Amino acid sequence: MDLLSWNIRGCVNKASIRTVKELCKQYRPDMVILLETKCSGDTTDKVIREMSFNYCIREEAKGFAGGIWVLWNNPNLNVQVLRNHQQFLHLQIVDFKRRVWCLTIVYASPHAHLRSKLWEEMKKIAPDMKLPWLLIGDFNDISKADEKKGGATLDMHAVNRFKRWIEECGLIDMGYIGSKFT
């Protein structure tokens, strides 16, 4: 199953809608995940229709902050919400080959005190995971110094806390494909 995930940083503009449609045409993902949509309510419905998706699950933005959308078109893809939270959606997927697995989509708060609540919620989910599990998204944290470029001074205590969280949840960083910092 092919996923396309993008921290779109706002999608209520023609350029973002056009880009999503172009990416879908080029890569033909089975599911599109948009983070930091900064959009909710009727506006969300309108934008999703303009992007030409038939199915969606979403965590609404709060004001003009956050937002997680999971979008797809194939009616044979079964997606069920197991848990939702302002900073994540935890889903069970039954894909086209009838494989059952879990997908957690994260848009972690840029505020450390709120992000720490997310990590605690994830630590509650991790011990019960018996199915294959993929976490994807924008964690707004790093586990290695080379994952940061510019900005504020690196906080090694925060880096080590995030690495500990990864280990405590039994996760493996699969890396990325493409340019760094994209």
Q: For residue range 36-78, what is the model confidence (pLDDT) as tens digits?
A: 999 888 999 999 999 999 999 999 998 778 999 999 999 999 9
Burial class (CB in 10 A: 0-12, 13-18, 19+), 96: exposed
For residue 112, give Cα distances in angstroms to 69, 118, 140, 155: 23, 10, 9, 12
Q: pLDDT digits over 75-131, tens only?
A: 999 999 999 999 999 999 999 899 999 999 999 999 999 999 999 999 999 999 999
**Cβ atoms of residues 118 and 106 within 8 Å:** yes
Torsion sign (Cα): 148, 181, 37, 92:
negative
**Cβ atoms of residues 118 and 85 within 8 Å:** yes
Set out the domains of the chain in order of their start, with CATH numbers. Answer: 3-168 (3.60.10.10)
pTM of the entire predicted model: 0.93
Indicate if the pLDDT at residue 182 is higher than 80: no
The closest alpha carbon to 160, from 145, 173, 148, 175, belongs to 145
Structure tokens at 2: 């092919």
Amino acid at 132: P
- Report the half-sphere exposure of 59 (CA within 13 A, side-chain side): 24
Q: In sequence order, what are the residues at sequence separation of 6 or more whose Cβ sits closer than 8 angstroms to the Cβ of residue 101?
A: 92, 93, 95, 131, 132, 133, 134
